[in-house]
């Protein structure tokens, strides 16, 4: 995979998006602080009146109730590929935005009438303005394609030619919606077996993958590398706080808090966290994390593993001593492990 720019730089570009979101979401009454970063004393009016409150549309339950229309994938231009492989860029619709992505697969006919098994690659953070559909995470797509899979790597909104805004405070939820929309379109992909769909997620993509796993039942397994698995919005706050001098991050925290408070009430935060819905995951998961990861704390994966254990989920957790965020030294060892994992689920 391409080495990532550290995730915290995702926050740099959100100020324009903040102003748009605040303009759209203002109107909520002020809330009294209790001292915690995301904690307030005022309950919603509906709760005070005893009226059941519908789930927030961006919550896990809200996404489960959402209608993801089947509009199809359009293959665009052929992309240069290694011998024995074929690749194209493609587009599909997500909430009215045209999203681009890369499709890479073995050349020739699929091994069965059902088509090639599918792996969705949920990539980690790369600044949207320098992201390139045909280049970033290409080592991952090539590897799985050479192993007999049809690989779909969505850009996410705001990346390269894809429409929409990237790097907003709620972008990881928006990107999850982009992946969920893609999953619904797989039936339209020539030679793709929509009954055998898996997910590879790295870093931010691992966090996205975890959310997707709690929303849809259309995945048969997933592998998560150094996933940003801490609950939202605390995961984003973490990256602002740990990567900025106090005089810089204090303003960013203020802007971030203003946007989040305009969109969500405090009693909705738990409903945004996939970690509270792990008991709904009924497919196998691999978790990979290097012990010298200086971007995503190892503890996030150890905590995730413990939570999956409590949820009685089917998971395997691998730690890699001395490895960095990209598990660079053991990269192919881990990719081989993933390949064996995915193949074992289709046999």
Helix (H, G, I), strand (E, B) or coil at 40: strand
Domain encompassing residue 123: 7-44+61-346
Per the structure, how many domains does the chain have? 1
Residue with tokens 């939820």: 173
> Has residue 2 been placed in a domain?
no
* Residue 54 resides in a domain: no
Q: Considering only CA atoms, which of 136, 153, 147, 135 is closest in space to residue 85?
A: 147
Q: What pLDDT is stored for residue 292 in this prediction?
A: 98
Q: Which of 295, 216, 280 is nearest to 6 (CA)?
A: 295
The number of residues making up the chain comes to: 347
**Does residue 1 sit within a domain?**
no
In this structure, what token pair is assigned to residue 163? 């429409």
Asked whether residue 153 is assigned to any structural domain, the reply reads yes
* Residue 337 buriedness (CB in 10 A; 0-12 / 13-18 / 19+): middle
Please report whether residue 323 resides in a domain. yes
In a domain? residue 16: yes
Could you give the residue ranges of the DSSP H alpha helices within 216-297?
A: 234-242, 246-263
Instruction: Say if 49 falls within a structural domain.
Output: no
Q: How far apart are CA 44 and CA 264, in angstroms?
A: 11
Q: What is the pLDDT along the chain (347 residues), one digit of tens a residue?
A: 544 444 443 333 443 344 344 333 333 333 332 223 333 233 445 445 677 789 999 999 999 999 999 999 999 999 999 999 999 999 999 999 999 999 999 999 998 899 999 999 999 999 999 999 999 999 999 999 999 999 999 999 999 999 999 988 899 999 999 999 999 999 999 999 999 999 999 999 999 999 999 999 999 999 999 999 998 888 888 887 776 555 555 677 888 888 899 999 989 999 999 999 999 999 999 999 999 999 999 999 999 999 999 999 999 999 999 999 999 999 999 999 999 999 999 97
Termini Cα distance of the chain: 27
Tell me phi and psi for residue 164, to 5 degrees. Answer: 100, 180
**Are the CB atoms for 17 and 168 separated by under 8 Å?**
yes
Is residue 116 within 8 A of residue 191, CB to CB? The reply is: yes
Task: Give residue 249's pLDDT.
Answer: 54
Report yes or no on 51 lying in a domain.
Answer: no
Burial class (CB in 10 A: 0-12, 13-18, 19+), 37: exposed
The CATH number of the domain holding residue 219 is 3.40.50.1820
Burial (CB count within 10 angstroms: exposed 0-12, middle 13-18, buried 19+), residue 48: exposed
State the pairing for strand pair 97-106/150-154.
antiparallel
State whether the Cα torsion 288-154-131-177 is positive or negative. Answer: negative
Q: Is 67 helix (H, G, I), strand (E, B) or coil?
A: coil
Q: How far is CA 168 from CA 10, 19, 173, 258, in A?
A: 8, 10, 10, 13
């Amino acid at each position: 995979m391409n080495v990532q720019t550290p995730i915290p730089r995702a926050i740099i570009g959100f100020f324009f998006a903040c102003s748009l979101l605040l303009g759209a979401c203002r109107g909520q009454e002020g809330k009294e602080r209790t001292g915690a970063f995301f904690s307030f004393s005022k309950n919603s009016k509906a709760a005070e009146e005893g009226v059941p409150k519908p789930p927030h549309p961006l919550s896990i339950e809200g996404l489960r109730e959402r209608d993801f229309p089947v509009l199809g994938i359009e293959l665009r231009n052929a992309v240069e590929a290694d011998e024995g492989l074929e690749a194209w860029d493609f587009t599909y619709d997500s909430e009215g935005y045209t999203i681009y992505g890369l499709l890479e697969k073995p050349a020739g006919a699929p091994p069965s009438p059902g088509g090639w098994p599918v792996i969705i690659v949920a990539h980690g953070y790369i600044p949207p303005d320098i992201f390139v559909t045909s280049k970033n995470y290409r080592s991952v797509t090539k590897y799985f394609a050479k192993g007999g899979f049809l690989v779909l790597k969505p850009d996410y909104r705001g990346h390269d030619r894809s429409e929409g805004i990237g790097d907003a405070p709620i972008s990881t939820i928006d990107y999850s919606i982009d992946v969920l929309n893609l999953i619904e379109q797989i039936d339209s992909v020539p030679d793709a077996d929509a009954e055998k769909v898996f997910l590879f997620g790295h870093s931010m993509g691992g966090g996205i993958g975890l959310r997707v796993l709690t929303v849809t039942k259309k995945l048969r397994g997933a592998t998560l590398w150094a996933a940003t698995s801490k609950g939202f919005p605390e995961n984003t706050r973490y990256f602002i706080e740990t990567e900025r001098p106090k005089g810089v991050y204090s303003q960013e925290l203020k802007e971030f808090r203003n946007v989040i408070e305009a969109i969500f009430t405090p009693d909705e935060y738990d409903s945004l966290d996939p970690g509270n819905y792990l008991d709904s995951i009924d497919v196998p998961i691999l978790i990979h994390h290097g012990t010298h990861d200086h971007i995503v704390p190892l503890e996030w994966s150890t905590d995730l593993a413990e939570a999956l254990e409590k949820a009685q989920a089917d998971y395997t957790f691998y730690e890699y001593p001395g490895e960095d965020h990209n598990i660079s030294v053991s990269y192919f060892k881990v990719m081989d492990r993933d390949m064996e994992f995915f193949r074992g689920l289709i046999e």
